[in-house]
Structure formats: structure tokens, C-alpha cells
Chains A and B, each alone.
Chain A
């Protein structure tokens, strides 16, 4: 196994309120790592620190290191970090004024790529990769927001893939979707790990069990336990983990 991302003693605050505390966690390349835990336990905060999106919130700050291929991302520029570590949000958020095509190509176009052939190829590749191409091939000029909820979320995944990141962070990508759309996205996550390192935040434990190679359990901002998904669910080492996955609290 190769290590792709590692957090070292990572803590983050919103003003005076602490979101996560001293989290050291390894993320393996070409694997899916799920982060589970009850609401407010710091799952989203953790992954938002990993692409430096945490710091755009007023008064938010963080301490500790996030290493990408051994390099501290807080020593790089935020913009270059975010191009290498993409993100999909809880609620699908296509750009409201842009067409399907423009949404997918936004990362390239807005960073100055004008070459039409390259844009066309990227849009085709990303939409196919996000398993959306067959559904939108005839409506690339339609507004991105005119798609269904599940399609919009796959559009956002395609948009994130278009800039060819190395790591893909997904913040509860299915929480607003119905079971059919959820199944599609889960299949997609399974495919994506061949090329990317995927981190999925979810509060759906079945989902973690279905898609993740590794699962980390967070509680009250602290990392309680991390292990191979199967191990974690079948033989949790910590009492707290067992209580959570058996539904006795949370």
C-alpha cells in the first residue's frame, strides 16, 4: 500500500469552538476511506481541512499538518492544493448560470483554458467517468440546474474530475438522494478508486460498509478508531465504536 494523504495532529477551530482535535490519520492511495460518526463530530471539518476550504470560513483556523505525497499542503498555495484535491459537496451545487457543458469545463475554463478541443475531450471524459454521459449527451447546453438531484450530484462529480485531481473528497454525497441515485453514486465511488484516492464522509454506516476499504470513526472531534472496514464493523476495538455501529447511540 502507498500512503497518499496523512494528517498529523490536525486540530481545527471555528472561532473559539473546536471542530476537530488532534487527528492523525493515513489515507491509502487507490482506496476508499470512509469517515463515519454522529452529526457534529467533525467529519466535514476534517475533510475541509484537507483541501484548505476550512480556512475560507470567517474566523476559522487550523493547526497541525496535512501531508499530500509527504508535502505539507499548508506550505503550498491553497489554489494549487485544491486543484490536486477535489471536493464534492453534500448538496449538489452546480453553477446556476452555467449549462451542463460549462459546469463540467468550469475548472479549466475559469483557469484560462480556451482550447475547444481539449475542453470537449475533458467534458466527454469527465461525464463518462461520472456515469452521466448517456443521460446528458443531447442536452449539454441545458442549464446544469435543470437536471434531477442525482444527476446534478454526478454533474458535480464530473466537474471535480475534470480538473484531474489526485484525491477526491466527498462530503456526504448521497445524503440528499433517493436510493436509486445513491446506488449509482456508490457504484461510481467504487470505480473511481482505480484512479483516485477517495475519502467519503457519511453518516450512513451501510454505505461505509458497502464502498469503503477503510473506515475511520470520529466522535466529538476526536478520532476514536480506524481500521479496514470489515474489521471495524465486525471486531471494533473500542467500546464507543461498537456502541455506535450497533446503533446504541448517535
Chain B
């Protein structure tokens, strides 16, 4: 079957090249049948890649270690769910997923636009075909996921334990769907530039894809943050790691794009800006895919260690150079008819929001690549840490949230000061009351940036509430509907607008959680023996007893050994128990002893969190194995040649020894206020984006009617 998979990739490469060539030739020569053939080649490519992906997936499920990839990234004792997802934890498998998603998305958009955009679509097909061809070339020439081993090992290396977390396994496909989704508007933007059809047609055709991509990318980023919070054992959700930054950057520029295309749709302005934004988003999406693979930033000198780093760099440079060149070449066609009438207008504030978002992206880009910049300029390898990122991004994030509140109440073209005052009166009043209450009843005043964020969040929420209230009231006056019905109808009939408001509210709530949890977090790192008690914030934490489990860790990750702790937590009348633990995965290192390899492999923290709307109580434990070292060495000597079941008994005895005579263990306890609102806010934002992206019944009706009208017209002209 590996041969079939490889063949799928080679034929896929040829198909992608054919799709690009045929649609280009068809567009140039005006022969529609070639364009249609190119489009069908893309459908065919999707079928080929889905087949290849299914073959690889089946190999993982069967634990067929004759596939090098399966031997590298899975094992028979990897739980079933993680076998399915281990495919994209490997480099080659993730490239295959990327290209499969790209082919599926391309097919979808080409199918939807098969009767419209006749000039632009062939060029878009060519761009999508070229991108797919690049990824297929990577796999065919350098990173073939179907490489086989002449002598299959009896057991695979297993999935990296750190990745054995539900969020981490859904996170990569989410990110890829986001990255891939942005390639659709990019391809159509390039098509629009080539054909000089720089109106809003390409935007209307691909806007929904951009929105869906944005939603998936955002969800992926949130899941990554959740994984960091619950799996990495350091208690934070964002560490300004290059890999995190790589996914955030295209999301920020994509956010700017989603806003500024509205200005082009409504006012015919910002054309250069829009095509630049989507080209930038796509280039950053490629950069994100590349950064994860190259290892270039974690260790600069490892550059070239990855087999495909150079190819990626060449491709990204090509994309940037070609799109920049094309935009410059088409500058005369991109001139807008309209001008900015007033700085007090929705379009001016959209532009401002765009500048803040792009500025934020540039700050992150600079910080992420600072090690390279520093080495190039000063010859010294240096880096900037999270404090630097926090200091520079805080003011920009504040500005962003404030603008998210002001933008919705402004009208296009211009706003009079009077009408602005009228719509802002209530929200400003609410904000003032909220700030006064915060200062009076909480210690929010201790952190000025957080207080500012709290007040802006209150402002955004009250603006959004006012918008919903005004719309629903208007409906109620006109139709006499009940409140819930009026709200539902209002949102359903104006999905883009009210979906957008919901997203603004969600982002504001998210920042509420970020501001509160970063400024008012209480953390303690301590070593405790059973019976010891510490105070964390308002909580009293007592280490009751140690636990040891064999082959059945709580999270179901298939860890052979899990050592943990039971802690009683008390705050006033509130009492609960937390059971953090640490999973130990055996190592395949032959230099280790038969017993010690069970303790010396990878280990991961399984933190326990008491989730709460007001605050989370987060606990991680790190058992100290120093007291077991002697017995483990001894067991290594005496039981190295014993059969497996005897060794299992020895390990059980060692675990029991840990449980019965526990040495002091290291704990990290964190009380983090309002952190749950980050996830809630993210979910609201995603919900809003889904509302905005969902096709409205009216639009579908309109499309059907126009298709029908076209057919009637054709038939009439024939008659």
C-alpha cells in the first residue's frame, strides 16, 4: 500500500502542475474547455490526496511499522485516539495533511465559483495548483510520508507524550485549516491583480473562506493556549514562544484583512492595502508552517538541519517577491475612486484598527526574529523575552480593544459630533460606573494597564449590548415580536453585522481574562511532605498523600507509571480535592537499565485544575525520585534478565514504595483570577464568526433566483 500512497503523491504532483498549466493556457488562449479541465484536475488532486491520507491513516491504525513514519511516531501501546492523530504529529504526515486540506478547499472554492468570476478563477486555479505542487514536491523529493523500512522494528517509538492531550491533537488540523483557508483569498487576489479586475468581486467570492480560515486559525491558537495551560506544567497559556507567535501573526493580519475588505466593498477604497494584507497573511501562514519545521529560531546554528528549511525559504521569498512585484505593476489599476471624507468615520477607524493590528504583527515579527536580526547586526546571538513582548504589546492591545468598541457605532463616510455623543453617552456612562465599582470594591487599581483594559472591556460590552438593544427595539416596534424572537431575527437577518458584534464582545471578554490573570495571579513553588500545609492566595492547601498508578493514568494517555499526590484545598466553607500527577513513559534507550528505562524516559505533568468562573486553582506536582534511585539501580542489576512479568512486579513494588514512604515532592500552585473567561471569550468570538460566516437564507434565495434568471435568459435567447 505504501507504493500506492507514493504513486498518489507523484500523480498528484503532475496533476497539480497540469491544473496550473491548463488553466493558464485556457485563460490566455480563451479556450474555456482548458479552464474547465484545469478545474477538474484540482478535484482529481483532492481525490488523490484524500486516498493517500487514508492509506497513511490506515497504516497508523494498524501500527504497520514497515512505514518509517509509523515506526517513528506511533507504537502499539499508543491509545487509539492518539494513533489517529499521530499522523500529523510527524513532519511528513503534517505536510500531507496540509496539501490534502489545500486540495479540498481549492476544490470547494472552484466548484462554488465555476459559473462566476470567469476571468479571475483560471489564474486563481493556477496559483492554488502551484502552491499544491510545491507541497507535493517537498513530499515526493525530500519528505515522503510513505518511505518504508526494509526491516520493520518490532515496536515503534511512540507518540511524544507531551502531545498526548486532546487539545494538542485537534490543534494542528485547526491551524492548518486556517493557514490553508487564507490561500483561497490569496489566490483570487492574485487572479484579480493579473486580470486587472480589482473590484470587490474577488472579495465577495472568497470573503467567507477568509472568515472560516480566521475562525479555524483562532480556534487553533486558543486550543494551543489551553494545551499550554493544562499540559506543559508551567501554568501559563502564552509564553511568546516562536511557534506560538508564528500562528498569531497571520491571524492578526487576517483580522486586519477581514475589516479592511469591508471598506473596499462599501466604499471602493483601500485596494492596494487589501491585496497587500492578503498576500502578507498568506506569506505569514507559510512562515508559520515553516517555523514549526525548521528549528531555525530555537537554535540558530541548527539551520539546515531540517531537510526542507531552504526550500521553504525559497518558496516564501518567491511568494513575497512575486506578489509585491505584481502589486507594484498594477498600482494604477488599484487607485480608488473615493477618498477618506472625514477622520470621524467608520472607514477611518477601520484603517486605524488595521494599523494597530499590523503594528502588533510587526512587533511580534521583530521580537520573534530578533535572534537572527541581532546576530546579523552585532554578530552576537541575543534574544528578547516575554517581558519585552508584554511591554510592547500591552498598549497596542489596549488600543485594539478600545477601537473594537468605537468602530461599531460609527457610520460610513462621516459622523457628526452630535450623533457620536448620542450613541456613546450610555456606554461611556456604563464604563465610568464599572471603573468606579472596580476601584471601590476590588484592588483592580493596583495595575494601571489592567484597570485600563477592564474599562475598555466594559465599554466594548456596553456598546455591543446597546447595538443589540437598539436593533431589537426597532424590530419590536415594527413587528411586535417578543424580545428573544426579535433578537434572533435581528441577528439572523443581519448575520455579518451582529455576528461581528458578538465576536467583538468575545474578544473583549477574552482580554478581560488575560488582563486579570496576568496582573493578579498568585503563585507558589514549594516542596511539601505529606501533612504539610501552605497558603496560596485565599486558599489553604494540604498535601494529604502520595499516589502511584501503573498502566492506567487518569488522562488515558497510556503512561505505564503515574506518580501523583492528593491535596485538600480549603477556602472558607469551600472544600475540594485536587489530584495532580506526573506520567512517566519508558525510554527506548538501550544504555539504560531494564528497570530504570521506565523512569528515565519522557515524563509529563498532568496538572489538576479546579475550574471556576471567578478563579482557577491550578496544581502541578513533581515527585522527587531521588529516594528511589538506589533501589532502581539495584533492580537494574538484579532483574535485567528477568522475564517481563517479573520486571512488572518490581516496578509495582517500586511504585508502592513511593506511595508508602513518599519523599517531599515539589509543587507549583497557582490561583489565577478570571482565567476561565479567556476560553469563554474565545468561544463567544468563534460563535460570532460562525454567525457571520453562515450563509443567510436571503442570500441563498437571491443566488438561486439569479441562476434561474440566467437560465431563463439563455433559453429565451436560444428561442
Is the pairing of A and B real? Answer: no
A-binding residues in B (CB < 8 A): none
